[in-house]
Amino acid sequence: MKKIACLISNKGAGTNLQAIIDHIKTGEIDGKVVVVVSNAAGAFGLDRARKNNIPTVVFPWKPYEQTGKTRAAYSRDLAALLKRYRPDIVVFAGWILIVTKEFIKEFPVILNLHPGLIPDEPNGVVYFPNGSPAPSNKGVHTDDAIANFFKQGCAFAGSTLHVVTEDVDWGPVIERAFEKIRAGDSVDSLYSRLKKKEHGMLVKA
């Protein structure tokens, strides 16, 4: 059984975390969430964790920023916090803060779901099923990323499950998911369908 640490922010509803919890209950994921950490006290996912008796920790970036401490210092302290729980896997389940090598080097596996199509090479391109180039949405998160698919006139949207590296929103790709944009779609309707595919990628990983 793998011990899983989940990191979340306050941008979403915590559905990725909930999917992990639910699939552990059904036995589709052979694991246990040992801690949920958020940089924001109001993150909805914290409530989801507490309802399932999962330890939660709020670890904000703002005090570091206000006192002139570096992101490397924050990353190092965040890693020290997580290591107390001895996770086998760290999952960024809606985490939007950048972490540095001081964090990344401490864990063998860190996974991230990104609402964009990350290429296999840093300067590469991913193509949608219709052959058109797909935006990577680097540095763009949650609803803003989904809105960008509409802005770019895409026929599809997509997400990538990848291994976290020091390069922001890039790393070895585990799987990509595509979702066709329908007539009358909104950001919410499109994202809700895409999220189901994101959850499926998490389960398989």
CB atoms within 10 A of CB 95: 25
In whole angstroms, what is the distance from residue 205 CA to residue 198 CA?
A: 11
Per the CB < 8 A criterion, the answer to whether 56 and 27 are in contact is: no
Catalytically annotated residue among 23, 114, 141, 162: 114
**Residue 141 designated active-site:** no
Radius of gyration of the chain (CA): 17
The amino acid that residue 16 corresponds to is N
Structure letter (DSSP) for residue 68: T
CA geometry: angle 141, 142, 146, nearest 5 deg: 100
In whole angstroms, what is the distance from residue 115 CA to residue 153 CA?
A: 16
- The catalytic residue positions are 114
